[in-house]
Amino acid sequence: MKRGYTPRDLDSIEFEVFDFTDDWFEAFDKPEISGVWFIWGNSGNGKTSFYLKLTKYLTTFNRKVVINSLEEGRSKTMQGAFRKAGMNEVSGKVLLVQESMEDLEERLDKERSAKIVVIDSWQYTNWTYKKYEAFKKRYPNKLIIIVSQADGKAPSGRPAKAIKYDADLKIWVEGHRAISMGRYIGKKGYYTNWIEGAAKYWGQEAID
């Protein structure tokens, strides 16, 4: 039988976190450096540009990122998104691939592999929730960021819905605003990805 924890035991544990500051801290507090983050939203709301900005910011914490772009890969649209996010500034810290999940696992199994992996979009993996659980268990010390398509305001498909509930940080992207839906929520609770676009969508009075 595993040991239990008293409130004092739990309070004494020091978790390793990303020391988010400014708008990132206001949106998402200071999340742990490993686990699963889940990002979902409808097309045209800024989902890709947001996760690129996020991963670019995460490289400032001495972390390398591999993005498995199953949906777009090496395309003109992804090229444009990379340019808009200024990803050239972190060249050498971010790697874009378009490969099967099995090949991705082989990449991540290598010594000194990236500490952060982005999977975009989940629906293109054709994986079940059970396979997701095995993937998560295989890489307990990595941060797994899963990007999902949406059906209305819910993730598209049963496995994606289950992953959302399991994830440590849940981020809904709507109107160029990334909104924390748990479990890490800062004082403001959202990150504005594109001010002009968000003002047009939410109304100028909603932009601070």
pLDDT tens-digit series, residues 31-52? 999 999 999 999 999 999 999 9
What values do phi and psi take at 34, rounded to 5?
Answer: -130, 175
Q: What are the domain boundaries of the chain?
A: 17-206
State pTM to two decimals: 0.94
Residue (of 63, 55, 51) closest to 114 by Cα position: 63
Average pLDDT over the chain, rounded to an integer: 94
CATH superfamily to which 17-206 belongs: P-loop containing nucleotide triphosphate hydrolases (3.40.50.300)
Q: Are 94 and 87 in contact (CB under 8 A)?
A: yes
For 82-107, how does the pLDDT look when each residue is reduced to its tens digit (9 = 90+)?
A: 999 999 999 999 999 999 999 999 99
Give the whole-number percent of the chain exceeding pLDDT 90: 88
